[in-house]
Amino acid sequence: MSAAAISSTGAQVARLHEWAEQTEDGDRDNLERGVSDTAWRQVSVTSRECIGANRCPHGEDCFTERARRRAGEADIVVTNHALLAIDALSDVNILPEHDVVIVDEAHELEPRITSTATQELSATAIAILAKRVQKLGLEADGDDLQTAGDGWLDALNQALLQRDITGRWTGIPAGLDGPLRELKDTVWKVNRSMFAMDPSEYVSEPERAAERQSLMVSTEEMHDTIVRILEASPALSGPGSAAASASSAESPSGAESRGGARGAAGGDVAPSLASSDDPLLGEDVVWLTGEDNRRVIAVAPLSVADLLRQRIFAANTVILTSATLALGGRFSAMLAQWGTSEKHTTTLDVGTPFEPRTHGILYVARDLPKPGREGAPDETVDATAQLINAAGGRTLGLFSSRRAAEAMAEKLRTVVPYPILLQGEDSLSGLVTRFRDDESACLFGTLGLWQGVDVPGPSLSLVVIDRIPFPRPDDPLKQARQEAAAKSGRNGFMEVAANHAALLMAQGAGRLLRSTEDRGVVAVLDSRLATARYGSYIRRSMPDFWETTDRDTVRKALRRLAGGR
């Protein structure tokens, strides 16, 4: 990490300490001018690192414990997807006991569970862990951990010199299995060193005792992450391989290591997440991201359907609601993600309070070139300018990438007379407020705008979607899921890529009508929505607008709307 980055992180940590004295709930979402993940990690712990209020010197002041106490006294607890995911993955209760779960925006449930079950290994995380071990007084163990981390990073960089191994791994690249095993064994050795320490030494040092317990969980978690990475490779599943040796007596697998750490802790137990050998998670997918010293190996479950079925649906009455659950006009796609089916689930489409057929138009630019990788062609830029000018501004532009949004904004700012606000030039909330307050403004952006933007009234009468938002072809998790579906005889493209696109198209198109008085147009600049076989499936996932491919008809409708306002 550079000196500038360290200085910036230090300033953010200082601001967090000041904020902690003022905030009532410690909720990161309520922190104005947010901080980096690196800074947040310096003042927070994960659910697994938490040693419990009874042993923590800050237990009485802990924001989470305060919230837990209030929740325990309540009849109804309102929480978010992330905490529900942690509760589902944990071996102990995070949320109070409950019989009924109501999940709003339920289309986000599977991605949230997957994200929570995803673990990462990076040189930065190893270095931070090594320094913490050294500060605890185990200098030699910290040095060993840093040496093992440096050896792994050197081997990784050497492998990258030979060939590009970024992206998905279907096997551990040559030269990396040994360093990974060495790192795994070293992390576990450090864990055992802390286990062997005499807890009575810290009777008068509660902060140090808490750090020891936290480090035991952190090293255990890193060990389990490496085990998942090794075991996820089919190429290493044999006698004498890294995967086979990952459960030795000296360096136990995730389930065994948790037993040791929990025995050592006694009393309150840090919640442990389902491990790679837990059938609730099943097969893992591994991939490499980042550049230079910021390389990260991620490992995520191929599917969380079994986990959802057994940990959430089997234990509770569950009601799932969202405006975008019926993909292609049916609930089957979302139910399959959750590990259930229409046979075992009661489904109901209650319709919409809006009238999309008479209040909205879906325009598909059938005459425009199919989107390519080189950015929007001149015909597409010209068509977008025509639509914006006809609408008098009032446009929300939803783009498949930041580069596409920036390129279109740069070109249109020279040919349309209306202000164009661009995601990244200000905070998202600030941009949305300015867009709502200025009826002539346009707002361009990427995924953050596809969902959750609520601008009813005259400030929004045109939603422009540059292309069908299929997942990136190099998305490792989507790629693996698509291949798994195909191997099982199903249509992998429709099950994964088309459903992903259909959900986002439904969400994006839903930005148009936000009140019963709203009128407007959703313009899709991707001709494939009209010409490809999957186009009708995606259109059925969107609101039931009146459809046309005639641009003149749409321009006239937008002018009438602008004139009427």
Task: Answer yes or no: are the C-beta atoms of 191 and 220 closer than 8 Å.
Answer: yes
| 477 close to 487: Cβ distance less than 8 angstroms | no
Q: What is the pLDDT of residue 45?
A: 72
Answer whether residue 114 is part of any domain. no
pLDDT per residue over 479-489, tens digit each? 999 999 999 99
pLDDT score of 305 more than 80: yes
Instruction: Give the model confidence (pLDDT) of 240-298 as tens digits.
Output: 333 333 333 344 443 333 333 322 333 333 334 444 445 566 799 999 998 876 899 99
Q: Taking each helix axis as running N to C, give the angle between helix 177-196 and helix 139-162, from 0 to 180 degrees, rounded to the nearest 10.
A: 170
Q: What end-to-end distance do the CA atoms of the chain give, in Å?
A: 54
- pLDDT for the residue numbered 372: 82
CATH number at residue 374: 3.40.50.300
Indicate the pLDDT class of residue 87, thresholds 50, 70 and 90.
Answer: confident
Q: Are residues 377 and 494 in the same domain?
A: yes
Q: Please indicate, yes or no, if residue 199 is contained in any of the structural domains.
A: yes
C-alpha 179/C-alpha 183 separation (Å) is 6
Helix, strand, or coil here: 444?
strand
pLDDT tens-digit readout, 394-431: 999 999 999 999 999 999 999 999 999 999 898 888 99
Domain with 295, as residue range(s), is 119-301
Rounded mean pLDDT, 318-330: 92
For residue 366 the two structure tokens come to: 């059938």
DSSP assignment of 80-142 equals -HHHHHHHHHBSS-SSPP-SEEEESSGGGHHHHHHHHT-EEEEHHHHHHHHHHHHHTT-HHHH
Judge whether 500 and 559 are in contact, CB under 8 Å. Answer: no
Return d(Cα 528, Cα 535) in angstroms, integer: 6
Helices 206-231 and 123-135: crossing angle in degrees, nearest 10, is: 150
Q: What are phi and psi of 342, to 5 degrees?
A: -65, -25
Q: Is residue 389 part of a domain?
A: yes
Average pLDDT value for residue range 349-366: 93
Of the candidates 77, 49, 80, which has an alpha carbon nearest to the alpha carbon of residue 62? 49
Annotate 490-550 with DSSP letters as a single string: S-HIIIIIIHHHHHHHHHHHTTS--STT--EEEEE--THHHHSTTHHHHHHHS---EEE--
For residues 384 and 513, membership in a common domain is answered with yes
Same domain assignment for residues 379 and 465: yes
Which of helix, strand or coil describes residue 365?
Answer: coil
Query: How many Å apart are CA 269 and CA 174, to the nearest integer?
Result: 39
Number of domains in the chain: 3
Q: What does DSSP assign to residue 490?
A: S
pLDDT greater than 50 at residue 238: no
DSSP letter for 294, please.
G
pLDDT of res. 41: 75
Cβ count within 10 A of residue 240: 7
For the stretch 196-236, pLDDT in tens is 988 777 767 878 888 888 899 899 999 999 999 999 865 43
Reported as a single tens digit per residue, the pLDDT across 10-35 is 888 888 888 888 888 887 777 876 67
Mean pLDDT, residues 178-183 taken together: 95
The one-letter amino acid at 469 = P
Residue scoring higher pLDDT (173 or 28): 173
Residue with tokens 């006239």: 556
The tokens for 371 are: 């989107």
**Do 205 and 278 fall within a single domain?**
yes
Instruction: Find the mean pLDDT for residues 144-152.
Output: 96
Largest Cα–Cα distance of the chain, in whole Å? Answer: 81
Contact 321/103 with Cβ under 8 angstroms?
yes
- Asked, for residue 75, whether it belongs to a domain, the answer is no
Q: What is the pLDDT of residue 83?
A: 84
Same domain for 429 and 296: no
Among the candidates 256, 280, 301, a domain finishes at 301
Lowest mean pLDDT among 35-39, 103-107, 395-399, 452-456: 35-39
Domain boundary among 236, 267, 301: 301
Structural domain includes residue 68: no
**Share of residues in the chain with pLDDT > 90 (%):** 59
What is the secondary structure of 32-77 as a DSSP string? SS---HHHHHHH---TTT---TTT-TTGGG-HHHHHHHHHHT-SS-
SS3 540: helix
Cβ atoms of 87 and 94 within 8 Å: the answer is: yes
Angle ∠(119,445,80) on CA atoms, nearest 5: 45
Q: Are residues 144 and 273 in the same domain?
A: yes
Q: Which pLDDT score, from 0 to 100, does residue 264 have?
A: 31
d(CA 292, CA 21): 38
Q: ∠551-556-561 over CA atoms, to 5°? A: 125
Half-sphere exposure of 45 (CA within 13 A, CB side): 26
Across 429-456, average pLDDT: 92
Pairing of the two strands 119-122 and 167-169: unpaired
Q: What pLDDT score was predicted for residue 254?
A: 39
The 8-class DSSP code of residue 327 comes to B
pLDDT at 434 over 90: yes
Query: How far apart are alpha carbons 188 and 224 in whole angstroms?
Result: 9
Residue 507 counted as domain residue? yes
| 96 lies in some domain | no
Residue 414 lies in a domain: yes
Distance of CA 466 to the CA centre of its chain: 23
Average pLDDT of the chain to the nearest whole number? 85
Tokens of 264: 């050592």
What residues contact 141, with CB distance under 8 A and at least 6 apart?
Answer: 133, 134, 189, 190, 193
Residue at which a domain ends, from 301, 319, 339: 301
- 428 and 510 belong to one structural domain: yes
Q: How confident is the model at residue 9 (pLDDT cuts 50, 70, 90)?
A: confident
**Are 291 and 398 found together in one domain?**
no
State what percent of residues in the chain have pLDDT above 70.
Answer: 87
Q: Rounded distance, CA 203 to CA 152, Å?
A: 37
- Say whether both 394 and 520 belong to one domain: yes
Residues 292 and 426 grouped into a single domain: no
CA distance 110 to 113: 5
Q: Do 296 and 360 fall within a single domain?
A: no
Query: What is the 3-state composition of the chain as percent helix, strand, coil, each rounded to the nearest 5?
Result: 50, 10, 40
**CA-to-CA dists, residue 150 to 124, 141, 185, 326, angstroms:** 10, 14, 14, 49
pLDDT of residue 51: 64
Residues 452 and 520 both lie in one domain: yes
Residue 31's pLDDT is: 80
Which tokens is 349 given?
């489409």
**Looking at residue 300, what DSSP letter applies?**
E
Whether the Cβ atoms of residue 391 and residue 461 lie closer than 8 Å to each other: yes
